[in-house]
Structure 1
Amino acid sequence: MNITSYTEFVTAAKRQPEPQRLLFVFAESSLPPNATESQKQSFRAQQGGTLTPIMCVDKLPGEAEDFAGLVEESKRTGQHWDIVFAASLSGRSGVVPSSDSATQALKQMISAIEQGSLARFLAFDRAGELVQFS
């Protein structure tokens, strides 16, 4: 499935044969402590740095219909973020995954992001644009 927007992500989750729970990990980009001048230039051009997960949340597809709502809710936390990683967790036998299942999946997402394993997640910037990592 080739998802190119946040709306397509939510729509795809709603169309799955099993109920889904959406998973979001918000991350902040920063420079490593001893960044070289080259790294600093890349960072200013938004092409480098590190991503640090700072908060996460799980939602049912109907609770996260539009990206603007997700951004507004995140503003109430007071936490700055640059990228939000998104994935979905599938239920079984018509049962929506529990919050406990989502918590474990979110921990796995955070660990993968910290290790730089980003390919299996969608990533969106603050404007809701899909971000590709190379």
Structure 2
Amino acid sequence: MASMPVDMELKKAFQEMQMKMVQTTQQLKVADSQVETLKRKMQHSRLVDRELTEIPEDTRVYQGIGRMFLEMTVPEIRDGLTAKKKAADEKIKTIEVSKEYLEKSLKESEKSLRELVLSKQQQR
């Protein structure tokens, strides 16, 4: 009878750990997809910027905004692209820090579960 509460405690700890692992892996997948999307946006901005360097600065250029096109200068568009690249890079760094925290949290909970199992084995 005395071993019954211990088994329930371990079972509960395992269930919590499994739920945490599922949530963490889902969050990591979301973070990975966000990083990939941002990297694609950065690559697109780089390609457009490279194409804009090849045309004269006094050329009429248009930027699509919703369902309309806005006439802008080449330097304005290049500045906007630079800002987009910088914002995407900062967001990627933030997501990477978040991923590191999630992975660290998962490892710590695994470690605490192992310690719980070891302590229960030593009590027997």
- Which structure's residues are more often strand, by fraction? 1
Pick the TM interval, shorter chain: under 0.3
Per the normalisation by structure 2, the TM-score is 0.27
Per the normalisation by structure 1, the TM-score is 0.25
Q: Larger radius of gyration, structure 1 or 2? A: 2
